[in-house]
Amino acid sequence: MSDTMIKQDVLKGGEFLIRSSKPEDVFIPEELNEEQLMIKQTTQDFLNQEIAPLRERIEKQEPGITVALLKKAGELGLLGAHMPTQYGGAEFDTNTNTVISDVMGPAGSFIVSFAAHTGIGMLPILYFGTEAQKEQYLPGLVSGDLKASYCLTEPGSGSDALAAKTRADLNAEGTHYILNGQKMWITNAGFADVFIVFAKIDGDKFTGFIVDAHTKGITLGHEEDKLGIKGSSTRQVFFENAAVPVENVLGEIGKGHHIAFNALNIGRYKLGLMCIGGNKGAIGMAAQYANERHQFGVSIGTFGAIKHKLAEMAIRNFAAESAAYRISQLMQDKKAAAEAEGMSYGQAMLDAAEEYAIECSILKILGSEVTDYCVDENLQIHGGIGFSEEYSAARAYRDSRINRIYEGTNEINRMLMVDQLFKRALKGELDIVGPAWAVQKELASMPSFEKSEGDYAEEHKTLGDFKKIALMVAGGAAKMQMDGKLNLKEEQEILMNCADILIDIFTAESLLLRVQKLKGMDKEIDQDIYEAMLQVFFNDASARISKNAADALGSFAEGDLLKTFLMGLKRFTKYPPVNVKENRRLVADVVLKSNGWSF
């Protein structure tokens, strides 16, 4: 499947803050084509028929189970869905790969092994490998004959990857690099055939290597006793005079950080997406129990407190899903444009993921934090039974916690988002200064009392106001920094506030565009349900954005300047009151009636 249409003037990374999109610009799950639906069903069958029956054996890390399942996934084409056909892959477009990751979300511990293999295990070779390296390794990784692992983290270097101590020194013959060092928290280490390893040549040139996992001098630590994802292999990897051929250097010497960070962009996107897919399973688990469990003569699903939980789980996940599929379309459009200009399939993928690094971080944070909410409320709905390891609610609760940590902690991702936004503005790639100045001028003028008109007029106006708030906060902070009164690198709390505003803006706009597109589609759907979700989300996002903006402004402004900002904040947070109780009940009733996710 290939991209069939090249869109002009595609939204650039981070540009959502200063530019509006239209419903026709986004892709939504409701418009999957026949081929995508077939691939979705194939993936669902693999999940139901191959993974689900073996879940307990996977969790116990029964020898050979995960390896056999990866091999089966390879036979079905799931390991190579994002790989070029010349290496045995299917070369599906971005949206089709998004569907696969979404459906695989509820796969529990297996999804960790699957994602590490197909993402950070394979992509560095596709992105940065020589043709000889691609021909040597990718076919085996696509088929599942080879399994991949990614060795970056060390005891002294996590988020600060460049602080790595593992060394690589060229031998006297100039034929091999001798690796010495230690890596930790390495997924798939227990059964991997290929390691992507990062080491410093001569102690200072941070470089990537493709390493045969069976090389003499490589030893493994014991399996880590983890809080969750117990079915995935996680070990330390030790290198003691391990000889790696010079032709196994990956990419350029001293440019390993380009490999490490670019591989993480798409990894963050897919992690967020798989979280969203997993949430659908948690929502189904919660709905089924709420329907089955009776207290005081009725099912607990009839209680308002339970309906609130179910509805909020569904609303948050529906909004996150809207953001995920929107990002998917952005990357697909960018990739198609790059391929049309002569880029290879792999390089076009890399270019697209790099362009939307901000959006990938948004989805990683959003998906993982919605997951934490969903699994927590699922366990709460189950009550005491949810606390028992005999039931799936406890496992889902434990498994979710890692998602906010790996692929870059959510805190690191928040800071990266804002840093990327400012860097793009300084490079002239995004004009934030002009719109921010326009907001400042608007604050000095009389407010307009014109009534908004048209479908979802209040939401469109409110979304515009959300963006004005973000520009007001970011512009104010940037001005203080230019005046030497603020150093944003030392003000992480302000960066966190700004990041949360950006997350809410992107998600709110994605949800609005999806609901608008659904209204224009010739399908039998109950639009009232989607409008109920939209109103609840905008109501709550308005409160969150107002608080984050007030917290940020109060951290760097004072006196008359602060008063001006707070007056502007009040002016830009006027989403009309809605009956969130009735809207949530409407959504909850759909979840209960369908006994799970049905959107």
Q: Can you give the pLDDT at residue 321?
A: 98
Q: Using one digit for the tens of pLDDT, what is the confidence trace for 433-478?
A: 899 999 988 988 877 767 777 889 999 999 999 999 999 999 899 8
| pLDDT higher than threshold 80 for residue 117 | yes
Residue with tokens 């659904």: 518
Tell me if 474 is assigned to some domain. yes
Q: Can you give the pLDDT at residue 90?
A: 96
Tell me if 270 is assigned to some domain. no
Spatial separation of the C-alpha atoms in residues 332 and 95, rounded to whole Å = 7
75 falls in which pLDDT band (50, 70, 90)? very high
Q: Which residues pair with 170 in a beta bridge?
A: 177
Q: Can you give the pLDDT at residue 478?
A: 87
Mean pLDDT of 310-331: 98
pLDDT greater at residue 283 or residue 158: 283
List the catalytic residues.
407
pTM more than 0.85: yes
Tell me if 529 is assigned to some domain. yes
Q: Can you give the pLDDT at residue 2?
A: 43
Torsion angle defined by CA atoms of residues 379, 383, 388 and 389, in that order, rounded to the nearest 10 degrees? -20
Q: How many separate domains does the chain show?
A: 1
| pLDDT higher than threshold 70 for residue 3 | no
Residue with tokens 């692929």: 407
Instruction: With CA atoms as reference, report the closest residue to 91 among 282, 376, 468, 348.
Output: 348
Instruction: With CA atoms as reference, report the closest residue to 309 among 383, 248, 250, 259.
Output: 383
Tell me if 485 is assigned to some domain. yes
Q: Can you give the pLDDT at residue 23?
A: 96
Spatial separation of the C-alpha atoms in residues 305 and 29, rounded to whole Å = 30
Question: For residues 244 and 211, is the Cβ–Cβ distance under 8 A?
Answer: yes
Phi, psi values for residue 250, rounded to 5°: -105, 120
Tokens of 426: 């300084």
Pairing of strands 167-170, 176-187: antiparallel
Query: What is the average pLDDT score of the chain?
Result: 94
Spatial separation of the C-alpha atoms in residues 55 and 279, rounded to whole Å = 17
Spatial separation of the C-alpha atoms in residues 569 and 563, rounded to whole Å = 10
1 falls in which pLDDT band (50, 70, 90)? very low
Q: Can you give the pLDDT at residue 454?
A: 82
| pLDDT higher than threshold 70 for residue 258 | yes
Tell me if 484 is assigned to some domain. yes
Tell me if 275 is assigned to some domain. no
Tell me if 509 is assigned to some domain. yes
Spatial separation of the C-alpha atoms in residues 60 and 297, rounded to whole Å = 39
Quote the distance between the C-alpha of residue 278 and its chain's center: 13
Q: Can you give the pLDDT at residue 5?
A: 54
Tell me if 587 is assigned to some domain. yes
Spatial separation of the C-alpha atoms in residues 591 and 599, rounded to whole Å = 9
- Express as a percent the part of the chain with pLDDT over 70: 98
Question: For residues 469 and 572, is the Cβ–Cβ distance under 8 A?
Answer: yes
Mean pLDDT of 410-421: 96
Q: Can you give the pLDDT at residue 4?
A: 47
| Number of C-beta neighbours around residue 508 at 10 A | 25
Q: Using one digit for the tens of pLDDT, what is the confidence trace for 343-367?
A: 999 999 999 999 999 999 999 999 9
Question: For residues 158 and 128, is the Cβ–Cβ distance under 8 A?
Answer: no
Tell me the CATH number at 438: 1.20.140.10
Q: Using one digit for the tens of pLDDT, what is the confidence trace for 126-148?
A: 999 999 999 999 999 999 999 99
Instruction: With CA atoms as reference, report the closest residue to 220 among 236, 232, 234.
Output: 236
Q: Can you give the pLDDT at residue 264?
A: 87
Amino acid type, 150: Y
| pLDDT higher than threshold 90 for residue 160 | no
Amino acid type, 151: C
Q: Which residues are CB-neighbours of 91 under 8 A, at least 6 positions away? A: 1, 2, 82, 83, 84, 85, 345
User: What is the enclosing helix (H) or strand (E) of 169?
Assistant: strand 167-170
| pLDDT higher than threshold 70 for residue 587 | yes
Q: Can you give the pLDDT at residue 262?
A: 87
Tokens of 339: 């391929």
Task: Say whether 154 sits in a helix, a strand or coil.
Answer: strand
Spatial separation of the C-alpha atoms in residues 544 and 505, rounded to whole Å = 11
Task: Say whether 597 sits in a helix, a strand or coil.
Answer: coil
Question: For residues 505 and 546, is the Cβ–Cβ distance under 8 A?
Answer: no
Mean pLDDT of 548-570: 94
| pLDDT higher than threshold 60 for residue 48 | yes
Q: Which residues are CB-neighbours of 82 under 8 A, at least 6 positions away? A: 89, 91, 92, 97, 118, 349
Q: Using one digit for the tens of pLDDT, what is the confidence trace for 188-245?
A: 999 999 999 999 999 999 999 999 999 999 999 999 999 999 999 999 999 999 999 9
Q: Can you give the pLDDT at residue 8?
A: 61
Domain of residue 458, residue span = 432-594
Q: What is the DSSP letter of 450?
A: P
Tokens of 332: 């697909």
Q: Which residues of 74-96 are buried (b: 16+ CB within 10 A; e: fewer)?
A: bebbbbbbbbbeebbbbbbbbbb
7 falls in which pLDDT band (50, 70, 90)? low
Q: Which residues pair with 211 in a beta bridge?
A: 195
